[in-house]
Amino acid sequence: MNKHRPLRFGVQEHRAHSAKQWRERARALESIGFSTLYLPDHLSDQPGPIAALMAAADATTTLRVGSLVFDNDYRHPVVLAKEAATIDLLSDGRFELGVGAGWLVSDYDQAGIPYESAGTRIERLEEAVQIIKKFFAGVEFSFTGKHYTIKGLEGAPSPVQKPARLCCWEAEAVACCAWRRGRRTSST
């Protein structure tokens, strides 16, 4: 049995000049063989990824859509999990959720969000991933952590994909593992 996944090609987009142009671009990418359309999550002159990814999924039939990556500090993990599960449901299981600890200081500054130490942002990300996974299980859950507290929340809707695709940005995952193992630098 071959356990290798087929090679896929994805593309990162970041501009939408009109709804028509955005839908046509998504359909064109699908027609020439791209498997996934990704959108970053920054506060610059790009479309908001949640609405844009849903529009791209709605305009296509096989193209997967995904975030590259959602900054954990911009959205509470319960809200992000609900949005992600909804996109997955409405796209018939074609959503890939990427979440990270955040890194672009200018986004934080422009939005007035405190840019805390890497250690703090990674701690929050670890808790957020636990919450998102619990939400995706589709049952009532509670969570108490240093940064988040959830009380008796039912994870609904449930994503179509079982298990749902949840990825952390690789560099942040490595930093997260190193941080957990006590290899903290003076900047954390």
Residues 87, 52: Cα–Cα separation, whole Å = 11
The region of weakest confidence among 5-9, 121-125, 141-145 is: 5-9
Walk me through the domains of the chain, giving residue ranges and CATH numbers.
Answer: 10-180 (3.20.20.30)
Q: Which residues pair with 36 in a beta bridge?
A: 10, 64
**pLDDT, position 6:** 78
* Cα distances (angstroms) measured from residue 119 to each of 28, 38, 179: 41, 27, 7
What average pLDDT does the segment 22-42 reach? 96
Between 61 and 16, where is the model more confident?
61
133 has a pLDDT exceeding 90: yes
Do 133 and 167 meet the contact criterion of CB atoms below 8 Å apart? no
pLDDT at 1 over 70: no
User: Which residue do the tokens 């911009």 mark?
Assistant: 74
Is 166 buried (19+), middle (13-18) or exposed (0-12) by CB count in 10 A? middle
Phi, psi of 157, deg, nearest 5: -75, 165
Q: Is 153 exposed, middle or buried (0-12, 13-18, 19+ CB in 10 A)?
A: middle
Count of all residues that appear for the chain in the document? 188
pLDDT one-digit tens code per residue, 34-89: 999 999 999 988 899 999 999 999 999 999 999 989 999 999 999 999 999 999 99
On whether the CB atoms of residues 132 and 98 are closer than 8 A, the answer is no
What is the value of pTM for the model shown?
Answer: 0.85
At 104 the three-state DSSP class reads coil
Instruction: Give the pLDDT of residue 75.
Output: 94
Of the candidates 138, 135, 157, the one whose C-alpha atom is nearest the C-alpha of residue 148 is 135
**Torsion sign over Cα 47, 53, 59, 65:** positive
Contact indicator for 33, 7 with CB cutoff of 8 Å: no
